[in-house]
Amino acid sequence: MANDASGQITSTRLKAPDIGKQLREISPHSVQVVESLRANGFEAYIVGGCLRDLLLGRTPKDFDVATDAEPQAVVKLFKRSRIVGRRFQIVHVRSGRDVVEVTTFRAHHDTRDTEDHESEQSDTGMLLRDNVYGDLSDDAVRRDFTVNALYFCPETDEIIDYVNALSDIKEGRLRVIGDADTRYQEDPVRMLRAARFAGKLDFEMEPETSAAIEKNGHLLRQVAPARMFDEVLKLFLGGAAANTLAVLQQFDLFQYLFPATAEALEDDQPYAQEIIQATMENTDARIEAGKPVTPAFMYAAVLWPAVIELREACLDQGMHIVEAMREATHAATMDQLQTTSIPKRFSIPMREIWDLQSRLHLKEGKRAAKLRSNPRFRAAYDFILLREQSGEDLEGLGEWWTQYQIDNPVDEEANRSEQRRRPPRRRRKRPPRQAQGQ
């Protein structure tokens, strides 16, 4: 970042009418939010990852707005909006199904009198509350990586760059803003974000950005399991899981996400690496093909090496195979919950997939048809194929089930009309999700 003679941080401005045009086309809502804030006397910009992605010719996932209006003022302005998060308050502004995240300019905690603001830090420097407000330049330098700290003003069609983000984007470089150790200590999740952006964008980490990860990785143990779960989904269900896994392993971060699987990897379990890698490749391919992906399957697969190790230990103690498997899946789930939460709607199907692994061997007589009609059959069958693809010898079980499905085609149309005859299920209203990141 550049400072002028008076020590003020300076910015570069770049006319980018094409970015403005794309934003108005892809996310008119985010532009409207900025315009409304400005019409009411506030400062406001489109910010962050969406600009980075547009400059790289990628389609942004979501659109963020930064403003000097405090959260209470923002909710007053937009009818369909609410404040989410506590550690880091943001406002969700809705329009149809679209949500724009509006954040108030933040400052570093030592640059402002924090008395009537919200700042709280742990012994290791982790920010427990990060609601200290500042101005635009403060906001730019408290963002995580340079490539995420660009602002766009739809009024002037200008990009504003305080941190040489434009050159880092051009050169494919991921650089932490400020002192890397401090920034990771404030929020260890930034290390996972570094791996995610490096993996997804195929960017090279600048040396300080990567060196500090090796030093501070262990701080991830302090992060709340719910936030870790959210990050796991972003890391592995974002379309670049295989690349991201490689970066995570390169920087020894995988162990903080799936400790028991990492141990199995260290024990040189033959197919542990194969299965996690194959899972990521298959997930990326499904996303690319527009097919659905579920955390339940991904978790089932990534934890499988841990399940197997636990199962072997139970068998060594003389347990019966069925009991050993039940014990192993239970223990693997409980262990993992210490690190990342797994909401029930995913942990239940995950365990059903595991449970079906032994049952798919018992396919004689009428059992095959019954197993086939199990709602989790498809996932369990895919899981068998994945295990075989990763080098487990299941004595041709996948092949057998593939052939069985060819020989016994399901009447899809009959199934669909059966579905249509059923009265629609009443949908339960889910409690609103809390924002985990910022």
Q: Note if 64 is an active site residue.
A: yes
Does 62 interact with ligand ATP (rule: CB under 6 A)? yes
> Considering beta carbons, is residue 103 or 357 the nearer one to ligand ATP?
103
- What is the signed CA dihedral for 78, 82, 85, 86, rounded to 10 degrees? 90
> Considering beta carbons, is residue 62 or 392 the nearer one to Mg ion?
62
Does 92 interact with ligand ATP (rule: CB under 6 A)? no
Does 161 interact with ligand ATP (rule: CB under 6 A)? no
> What's the closest the beta carbon of residue 196 comes to ligand ATP, in angstroms?
7
Please give the Cα distance from 381 to 264 (Å, whole number).
24
SS3 call for 365: coil
Interaction mask 30-49, ligand ATP, x per CB under 6 A:
------------------xx
> Considering beta carbons, is residue 62 or 263 the nearer one to Mg ion?
62
Does 437 interact with ligand ATP (rule: CB under 6 A)? yes
- Annotated active-site residue in 53, 130, 138, 144: 144
Rg (CA), the chain: 25
Q: Binders of Mg ion among 231-260, rule CB under 5 A?
A: none
Please give the Cα distance from 274 to 259 (Å, whole number).
17
Does 438 interact with ligand ATP (rule: CB under 6 A)? yes
- Annotated active-site residue in 62, 68, 157, 382: 62
Q: Which residue is nearest to ligand ATP (CB)?
A: 49
SS3 call for 146: helix
Does 216 interact with ligand ATP (rule: CB under 6 A)? no
Does 190 interact with ligand ATP (rule: CB under 6 A)? yes
> Considering beta carbons, is residue 160 or 360 the nearer one to Mg ion?
160
- Provide the residue type at 433 as one letter: R
Please give the Cα distance from 321 to 311 (Å, whole number).
8
Angle, helices 344-359 vs 377-389, to 10°: value is: 70
Helices (H), 344-376: 344-359, 367-372
Residue 104 DSSP one-character state: E
- Annotated active-site residue in 64, 130, 138, 284: 64
- Provide the residue type at 358 as one letter: S
**Interaction partner, residue 149 (ligand ATP, Mg ion, none; CB < 5-8 Å by kind):** ligand ATP
> Considering beta carbons, is residue 104 or 269 the nearer one to Mg ion?
104
Please give the Cα distance from 90 to 70 (Å, whole number).
9
Q: Note if 144 is an active site residue.
A: yes
Give yes or no for a contact between 354 and 311, defined as CB atoms under 8 angstroms apart. no
Location of structure tokens 């039940």: 326
Please give the Cα distance from 388 to 249 (Å, whole number).
23
Select from 142-150, 287-295, 339-347, 372-380 the region that touches ligand ATP (CB under 6 A). 142-150
Q: What is the DSSP string of 155-167?
A: TTTEEEESS-HHH
Q: Which residue(s) pair with 92 in the sheet?
A: 82, 101
34 alpha-carbon distance from chain centroid: 26
Q: What are the angstrom distances between the C-alpha of 328 and each of 72, 91, 256, 319, 321?
A: 49, 42, 21, 11, 10
Find the binder of ligand ATP among 54, 74, 93, 189 (CB under 6 A).
Answer: 189
Helices (H), 294-342: 295-316, 321-337
Does 225 interact with ligand ATP (rule: CB under 6 A)? no
Does 49 interact with Mg ion (rule: CB under 5 A)? yes
Q: Tokens for 120, please give them.
A: 């709280």
> Considering beta carbons, is residue 49 or 217 the nearer one to ligand ATP?
49
Number of residues engaging ligand ATP in binding (CB under 6 A): 14
> What's the closest the beta carbon of residue 431 comes to ligand ATP, in angstroms?
22
Find the binder of ligand ATP among 27, 131, 146, 148 (CB under 6 A).
Answer: 148
Does 67 interact with ligand ATP (rule: CB under 6 A)? no
Find the binder of Mg ion among 62, 118, 204, 355 (CB under 5 A).
Answer: 62
> Considering beta carbons, is residue 49 or 199 the nearer one to Mg ion?
49
Terminal Cα-to-Cα distance of the chain (whole angstroms) = 22
User: Which residues lie near Mg ion (CB under 5 A)?
Assistant: 49, 62
Active site residues: 62, 64, 144
User: Which residues lie near ligand ATP (CB under 6 A)?
Assistant: 48-49, 61-62, 64, 143-144, 148-149, 187, 189-190, 437-438
